[in-house]
Structure 1
């Protein structure tokens, strides 16, 4: 076991796994920033990447296991690596949570909060969440 991997890659893997699970549960949404940099869903791809990074420091122990077990763990790690790499560039819709699909649909239709606010700013009308400015008179 390499101590450098234990003190660098293992904590990063724990963090990425925690952050990705928290993002899926809509508790900690900061990983969504990564989705604007790549065409896929890197925020979702961080889960298999985090699992891979948590297990890499223990590769010596994994290879010391009996061959069938170490082979299955190795295949699992290869699948995690492939899912993490492919997920950054393409994530199938069935693997995305429903709230992410709904958000993507609102962005495509132009009905997300930022687009609505921008549209109202261009027309000069107050956005639905803003109060009208100036004095109000009932006639």
Structure 2
């Protein structure tokens, strides 16, 4: 295997993750929401940070190939880039399980609020009168008894 092959694979992975992460943040790519059933976090959004970490690895390796010894500015840039790598990797891995509220895009916050209020399409369909009411394990409500049934119910001792 050539020396450039792992770096090319890592570069392609980072490009795909960065593009899909940006599209996920902009609500252009939402198919990743299907992964929410497997992972408790936000894997589509975490992909952006993982892609940034992989891209930082590529640049760090290139900087090591150039050589940072003796050049203070390049050494400082290397340290800053390493900090970006470590932070991006940590956020990416943690993002698979949980992302803090300030890292979530507005459309995700609004979607979560809709679900909590019960105003999302699925909640509306499961309400009485909705097209899924009485299905999916949600029992139908009992019909209200008429006057005669109520009177008979009161007379019983």
TM-score by length of 2: 0.69
Question: Which blocks of at least 5 consecutive residues in structure 2 are unaligned?
Answer: 69-73, 136-157
C-alpha contact (below 8 Å) 2:60/2:78 kept by paired residues? no
The answer to whether the 8 Å contact 1:16/1:49 transfers is: yes
User: Matched residues in 1 for 2:34 and 2:134: separation?
Assistant: 29
* CA deviations over 1:75-96 (Å, ceiling 9, x no partner): 1101111111111222111221
Name the counterpart of 2:84: 76
Query: Is it true that 1:122 corresponds to 2:133 in the alignment?
Result: yes
Q: Output the TM-score relative to the length of structure 1.
A: 0.77
Check whether the contact 1:20–1:31 (CA below 8 A) recurs between aligned residues: no
Q: Which has the higher contact order (CA 8 A, sep 6+)?
A: 1
Q: Which deviations, in whole Å up to 9, do the C-alpha atoms of 1:6-48 show, x marking residues without a partner?
A: 3322111101100111111122222222333222222221111
Equivalent pair of 1:9/1:53 in contact (CA under 8 Å): yes
Moved >3 Å (runs of 4+): none
**Larger-Rg structure:** 2
Greater helix content? 1
Contact preservation (8 Å) 1:5, 1:57? no
Query: C-alpha distance in 2, partners of 1:33/1:10?
Result: 26
